[in-house]
């Protein structure tokens, strides 16, 4: 199937860590991405990980990849109210002309 | 400088009308896409063009027709609009169609409302 699965909602308090989880479908996917969508806006690429990596850290963002279980997670440290948005996981087969397959998105709500 | 620009940003029209959405990218990318985001925020690929050639054509009503006059432009024309066409339509581009390293760059979306 083509479904990339994510939990739909996550609510955290400001200053806490947020962990958004994703299960993707194709073990041959070469790149996995996290996109952020703020209300009324387009999609902003946050980070990506190549399939031969287990972890990638970029400032407050940590991406973990478990290729065996086809599980991807995004951890946001010291979550701020400005992090409130929808976060999409996406997979790419890495072949020319293929499209990104998106999960349904996780709405992150940060309360102060 | 806007990398991927779509016009119009908002489009309200009556059922049965024909409308077009334009997209332009100034990134020098080879591949462009149209995605549809429904009311539940689910994103689904509609079309992809690589160097003006149609690569992906998902199960989309044939009332939707993409047109790529050159590799920097991908327009979406919709005939006989229906209520169910109401959604946000995103244009995107990628360097070589693989999305490797840089992912895809998205436009800010066109919110289409059919009344």
The rounded distance, in Å, linking the Cα atoms of B80 and B58 is 19
pLDDT tens-place string over residues B8-58 = 999 999 999 999 999 999 999 888 999 999 998 899 989 888 878 888 777
Cα distance from A76 to chain B (closest Cα, Å)?
20
Token pair recorded at residue A1: 């199937």
**pLDDT beyond 80 at B2:** no
Q: Which of A92-96, B63-67, B107-111 has the lowest mean pLDDT?
A: A92-96
pLDDT tens-place string over residues A52-87 = 889 999 999 999 999 999 999 999 999 999 999 999
Query: Best mutation site among A99, A101, A106 for testing chain B: the one with the most B CBs within 10 Å?
Result: A99
Q: For residue B1, what pLDDT is reported?
A: 67
Q: Does A61 touch chain B (CB under 8 A)?
A: no
Q: For residue B49, what pLDDT is reported?
A: 86
Chain-chain contact of A94 with B99 (C-beta, under 8 angstroms) = yes
- The residue that leads in pLDDT, B97 or A80, is A80
Nearest to A85 by CA among A111, A59, A57, A106: A106
pLDDT tens-place string over residues B49-85 = 887 888 877 778 999 999 999 989 999 999 999 999 9
Residue of A nearest to B5 (CA): A42
Q: Give the pLDDT mean for A18-32.
A: 87
DSSP letters spanning B3-24: SEEEE-SEEEE-TT--EEEEEE
Q: Give the pLDDT mean for A3-23.
A: 94
Instruction: Provide residues of B within 8 Å CB-CB of chain A.
Output: 31, 33, 40-45, 48, 50, 55-56, 90, 92, 96-109
Sign, CA dihedral B96-B102-B104-B105, equals negative
**pLDDT beyond 60 at A1:** no
Chain-chain contact of A31 with B109 (C-beta, under 8 angstroms) = no
Chain-chain contact of B103 with A41 (C-beta, under 8 angstroms) = no
**A48: nearest CB among B43, B90, B103:** B103
Residue of B nearest to A49 (CA): B101
Q: For residue B98, what pLDDT is reported?
A: 61
| Mean pLDDT computed over every residue of chain A | 90
Q: Band of the pLDDT at B102, cuts 50, 70, 90?
A: low
**pLDDT beyond 90 at B89:** yes
The rounded distance, in Å, linking the Cα atoms of B100 and B95 is 8
């Amino acid at each position: 199937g083509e479904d990339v699965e994510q939990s739909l909602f996550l609510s955290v308090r400001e200053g806490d860590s947020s962990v958004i989880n994703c299960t993707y479908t194709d073990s041959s996917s070469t790149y996995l991405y996290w996109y952020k969508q703020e209300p009324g806006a387009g999609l902003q690429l946050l980070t990506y990980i190549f399939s031969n990596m287990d972890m990638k850290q970029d400032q407050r963002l940590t991406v973990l990849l478990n290729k065996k279980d086809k599980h991807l997670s995004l951890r946001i440290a010291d979550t701020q109210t400005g992090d409130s948005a929808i976060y999409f996981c996406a997979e790419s087969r890495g072949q020319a002309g293929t499209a990104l397959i998106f999960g349904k998105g996780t709405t992150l709500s940060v309360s102060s | 400088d806007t990398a991927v620009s779509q016009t119009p940003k908002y489009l309200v029209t009556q059922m049965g009308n024909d409308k077009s959405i334009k997209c332009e990218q100034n990134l020098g990318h080879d591949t462009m896409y149209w995605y549809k985001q429904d009311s539940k925020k689910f994103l689904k690929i509609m079309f992809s063009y690589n160097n003006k050639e149609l690569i992906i054509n998902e199960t989309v009503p044939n009332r939707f027709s993409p047109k790529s006059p050159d590799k920097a432009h991908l327009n979406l024309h919709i005939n006989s609009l229906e209520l169910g066409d109401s959604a946000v339509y995103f244009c995107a581009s990628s360097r070589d169609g693989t999305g490797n390293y840089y992912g895809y760059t998205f436009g800010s979306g066109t919110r289409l409302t059919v009344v």
